[in-house]
């Protein structure tokens, strides 16, 4: 069952359900056409990764860091949804 945040991802973004994703696909990059699925700044993202808040990345090349799409979706599903109403 999808929670509201996962439903928003499915409706507004082409975020993959499996495979690898780069940071721009996670936190967004309007210049590249990526809508954020976790709307935080890059420094906040890396601090959260370092502190274990966000999923661990994989280094597939010395200058290429990726995350498993499944890990990102699992993280999103684990965060309680709060309406801004």
10-57 pLDDT, tens digit each:
444 689 999 999 999 999 999 999 999 999 999 999 999 999 999 999
Residues 6+ positions from 65 with CB-CB distance below 8 Å: 22, 23, 57, 58, 59
- pTM to 2 decimal places: 0.80
Domain ranges of the chain: 4-78
Beta bridge partners of 68: 20
Residue 7: the pLDDT is 47
> In angstroms, rounded to a whole number, what is the distance separating the alpha carbons of residues 85 and 71?
29
DSSP, res 37: S
Dihedral sign, CA of 65, 70, 71, 76?
positive
């Amino acid at each position: 069952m999808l929670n509201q945040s996962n439903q928003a991802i499915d409706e507004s973004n082409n975020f993959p359900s499996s495979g690898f994703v780069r940071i721009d696909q996670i936190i967004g990059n309007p210049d590249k056409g990526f809508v954020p699925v976790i709307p935080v700044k890059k420094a906040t993202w890396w601090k959260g990764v370092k502190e274990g808040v966000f999923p661990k990345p994989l280094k597939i090349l010395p200058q290429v860091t990726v995350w498993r799409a499944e890990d990102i979706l699992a993280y999103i599903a684990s965060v309680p949804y709060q309406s801004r109403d």
